[in-house]
Amino acid sequence: MATSKFSAQIHFFLLFTLIIKIKGNEIEHESKYPIVVSTWAFVDAARVAWSVVDAGFSAVDAVVEGCSTCELLQCDGTVGPGGSPNENGETTLDALIMDGATMEVGAVAAMRYVKDDIRAVRLVMQYTEHTLLVGEQASVFAISMGLPGPMNLSSEDSLQKWTKWKENDCQPNFRKNIAPLNSCGPYHPEGRSNFGQTSSYLNLVESDTPKVSQINIHNHDTISMAVIDKAGHVAVGTSTNGATFKIPGRVGDGPIAGSSAYADDEVGACGATGDGDIMMRFLPWSENI
Ligand SMILES: *[C@@H]1O[C@H](CO)[C@@H](O)[C@H](O)[C@H]1NC(C)=O
């Protein structure tokens, strides 16, 4: 049952793996590198990454410039500022870089008020011993290290989308087993008024009917990009503004190393995008290794 729900919800799931062929102990790289692979048709981002890595810069540099291009272009409205408002109408950002040469990871999750999330994660990787910073403290760190902010990450478009959603009684949303079911909050656990009665647990179980997936072409997504540079080093990056109308605080697979993406010079890199709430439980890319 779990797997059928899984496959139904991964319609827009995209996956790539780059496996470096190892001959004896020598990694073959001569003329085969550099390589740039990205999810979706984010051609401009791939072009920028290519020009950086082709000029001799590192895989990490290329991933940063490539993902940053998508943030700037607001690719599909799913990357960078001005897209995917949460229940409160706010846009927050998640991103990750993994350096396959050093196995270092930098990540931010639910970052507010700073638009340059892939640059923020590079700062986390370069200037801290940590892997993941979250929320407003991630913004404070990014700004203290020189990124512009605090700034408003909303756009006319994201606010319009949010206003329409509110007018539609906050449907669809990501809540379950709550009341009210068909209107905006505040929400409380369904059956709470029966608290203490034996029937309340049964009510909860019976009402756990699967919802139609809200994940579609404009609400699915991440850019996930893998690069191998001329020296044969591998890096991977992701950048996303998360699911539209998410509950504030929700973080998907995007900034989680080994969930959205992974890189290791000795093996290669992989990345996937789709319904992050599902994917971070099933790690679909791992089946491709
Ligand atoms: C943020 O930007 C949006 C879109 O330009 C604007 O409508 C909104 O009023 C701004 N919010 C704040 C708090 O400045």
- Which parts of the chain have pLDDT scores under 50? 1-13, 21-26, 29, 194-210, 217
Number of other CB atoms surrounding residue 204 within 10 Å: 16
Question: d(Cα 203, Cα 145) in Å, to the nearest integer?
Answer: 50
Per-residue pLDDT at 235: 98
| Å from CA of 81 to ligand 1 middle | 12
Pocket-testing residue among 90, 92, 112, 152, ligand 1, by greatest number of atoms within 8 A of Cβ: 152
pLDDT at 41: 82
The pLDDT value given to residue 285: 62
The DSSP symbol for 110 reads E
What pLDDT score was predicted for residue 155? 96
Atom 11 of ligand 1, residue of closest alpha carbon: 152
Q: Which residue ranges have their beta carbon within 6 Å of ligand 1? A: 152, 154-156, 159
Q: What pLDDT sits at residue 4?
A: 36
Rounded CA separation 287/205 (Å): 31
Q: Which two tokens stand for residue 212?
A: 């139609």
Ligand 1 centre distance from Cα of residue 111 (Å): 17
Whose Cα sits closest to atom 5 in ligand 1?
Answer: 155
Paired with 17 in beta bridges are 270
- For residue 155, the ligand 1 atom closest to its alpha carbon is 4
Phi, psi values for residue 260, rounded to 5°: -80, -35
Query: Can you list the positions of beta strands (E) in 11-169?
Result: 14-19, 22-23, 26-27, 35-38, 93-99, 104-111, 132-134
Q: Kindly list the domain boundaries of the chain, sorted by start residue.
A: 30-155+222-288, 158-206
Give the residue among 2, 9, 5, 4 at the shortest CA–CA distance from 273: 9
The contacts of residue 252 (CB under 8 Å, 6+ apart) are 94, 240, 242, 243, 260, 275, 276, 277, 279, 280
Catalytic residue numbers, as ranges: 222
User: Separation of 156 CA from ligand 1 center, angstroms?
Assistant: 8
Residue nearest atom 8 of ligand 1, based on CA coordinates: 154
Measured CA to CA in angstroms, residue 72 lies from 69, 77, 81, 169, 266 at distances of 5, 10, 8, 32, 32
State pTM to two decimals: 0.84
Dihedral class, residue 132 (left if φ above 0, else alpha if ψ from -120 to 50, else beta): beta
